[in-house]
Amino acid sequence: MNLEKIIKNYSPMTETAFYILLSLTEPRHGYGIIKHVEEVTGNRLKLGSGTIYGTLTKMERDGIITMYADEKRKKIYEITEDGKVLMRHEMERLKELHVNVIKYEEDFE
């Protein structure tokens, strides 16, 4: 899948997809990602098994992550260059969202 289509199909990114990709700057396997996401969100976000393995399969098919190693009971992935471009794009969107949070925060007090 080319970069243009990737960005179109993955924007806006779901929170799940965002945290999976955030975990894959270091090579990790599915179960390791689940634990890492729990860590960085302070146990708030717990990914279901269907979510993680389904998403990883889809992301590999689309070329935003790649197989790093295939051990007996561990399939280890890492993010690709296209994946990094996508994440930079998503991070810009999240910054825009944050600007609007700060701007309109007082209206909800």
Partner DNA sequence: CTCGACTATATCACGACGCGACATATAAAA
Partner DNA sequence: TTTTATATGTCGCGTCGTGATATAGTCGAG
> Would you tell me which residues interact with DNA (CB under 7 A)?
9-10, 14-17, 29-32, 35, 45-51, 53-58, 73-76
Query: Between residues 56 and 87, which has the closer beta carbon with respect to a second copy?
Result: 87
Adjacent-strand bridge partners of 65: 79
**Residue from the set 41, 46, 48, 54 that interacts with a second copy by CB under 8 A:** 41
> Helix or strand or coil: residue 30?
helix
Residues of this chain, 1-20, that bind a second copy according to CB under 8 A = 12, 14-15, 18
Q: Which does 4 bind (CB under 5 to 8 A by kind): a second copy, DNA, none?
A: none
Residue 63 has φ and ψ, to the nearest 5°, of 85, 20
> Helix or strand or coil: residue 79?
strand
Q: Which residues lie below 8 Å from residue 101, measured CB to CB, with a gap of 6+? A: none
> Helix or strand or coil: residue 75?
strand
Q: Kindly list the residues in this chain that would bind a second copy in the complex (CB under 8 A).
A: 12, 14-15, 18, 22, 25, 40-41, 44, 79, 84, 87-88, 91, 94-98, 100-101, 104-105, 107-109
